[in-house]
A and B are shown apart, each in its own frame.
Chain A
């Protein structure tokens, strides 16, 4: 055990954690918006819209995240037309490519989580509010969405942890996130176990915090209290 290396690499890895957290928060924020949008599309009665939303989630849940990042980072740059538009400013940065890929990926999973949450709402609740003369819009925003958020909290907590682990793939497109820096230190010092303990410890700490925050929210929004 090389404790010196563990001590010297800790601040470096902690600095890289900031990149990981930035990637995570940005992709979760945009992913939640996209997920909600596609969950609503999935509940639409129009078959075309429904199939489109299903196709999106199937495509992104059926392929590895690594393929998605590579298509966006290496693949899209190949299209000549894209290079001439303003989109190229975003797409030439690995940082934004990673965020786009993560957003689309987590959006697909989130849409499935939210859809199943909407579908488990008892029809009686909606019928009751309709018979009270509440308009459809208010039923959706004030009744369906709060219940759906409560229903989907445990599954969404898992998705946050999966996404946190997913951000490690940013290191494959030259970004120096926690995994990227860990790999760099391993390949220069050839001491994989020490670095793994430190980097893995940081990841576990983040998992621990996310897990407990979700647990707290679940308790806060539970029906009994």
Chain B
């Protein structure tokens, strides 16, 4: 137990901050994912074939390629790409991107592909009459989406979004390869310096279980809240 003490003697406080980092990366990635989903869901549902193709390309590629490979692409290619863009604007200094940003963008893009599929499924399962009725009432497309479709869609999407959240939370363990100090990386450091990998990796597993358990409880509450009236 002294290995987990807070302060200089143990790894308790380090692991605590690492857990906060994992939560921060997951939440950021989830929001980046929503942002991507809001762009690509309309593309997937669009009437135009070419827009459909772009939407399908995104979700197929991201869901068919391992997360680790996407992370390596961002880790090794991220600063190169930014520097290339900067060089067009006449800036030639070396730019290093923060591991937190690279990690959350990489995980966010992955989580966005899953969210897109969830949103698409939810929108498609909304009764056609809702679209037709709002059209007859002369509501424009924008208001129709935000005031009529989105609220109904969210109720249907929450159970599946909770799966996306679980996947995102577990995927954050992979960005430890880029050196960002989250649970996995901190356990790796602690295991290396105390030569006690079994204890620290098992503890990391317990931390992840705790996070998934707590988030399940919160999501269940949200589900009850949003399904009121049904």
Flag if B198 contacts A71 (CB, 8 Å). yes
Residues of the B chain whose Cβ atoms lie less than 8 Å from the Cβ of A208: 64
B194 to chain A minimum Cβ distance, whole angstroms, is 11
Give A70-113 as 1s and 0s: 1 = Cβ < 8 Å from B's Cβ atoms. Answer: 11001111110000000000000000000000000000000000
Flag if B68 contacts A161 (CB, 8 Å). no
Flag if A203 contacts B198 (CB, 8 Å). no
* Residue B85 at the chain A interface, CB threshold 8 Å: no
Residues of the B chain whose Cβ atoms lie less than 8 Å from the Cβ of A70: 184, 187-188, 197, 201
* Residue A57 at the chain B interface, CB threshold 8 Å: no
Interface residues of B, dominant DSSP? helix
Flag if B66 contacts A78 (CB, 8 Å). no
Question: Which of B63, B177, B191, B196 contacts A172 (CB under 8 A)?
Answer: B177
A66 CA to B60 CA, complexed, in Å: 24
Residues of the A chain whose Cβ atoms lie less than 8 Å from the Cβ of B222: none
Interface residues of A, dominant DSSP? helix
Flag if A62 contacts B209 (CB, 8 Å). yes
Flag if B173 contacts A78 (CB, 8 Å). no
* Residue B92 at the chain A interface, CB threshold 8 Å: no
Question: Which of B60, B80, B202 contacts A71 (CB under 8 A)?
Answer: B202
Flag if B213 contacts A165 (CB, 8 Å). no
Flag if B201 contacts A179 (CB, 8 Å). no
Flag if A66 contacts B184 (CB, 8 Å). yes
* Residue A199 at the chain B interface, CB threshold 8 Å: yes
Interface range for A: 35 or more
A45 to chain B minimum Cβ distance, whole angstroms, is 26
Excluding A67-B208, A168-B69, A199-B69, 18 further A-B contacts by CB distance (< 8 Å) are A62-B213, A63-B170, A64-B173, A67-B173, A67-B204, A165-B64, A165-B67, A167-B66, A168-B67, A168-B68, A171-B68, A172-B68, A182-B69, A182-B72, A192-B73, A192-B80, A196-B77, A200-B64
24 A/B residue pairs, CB under 8 Å, sorted by A: A59-B205, A59-B209, A63-B208, A64-B174, A64-B208, A65-B170, A67-B204, A67-B205, A70-B197, A71-B198, A71-B201, A165-B65, A168-B68, A169-B174, A179-B68, A190-B80, A192-B77, A192-B80, A199-B69, A200-B69, A203-B64, A203-B65, A204-B65, A208-B64
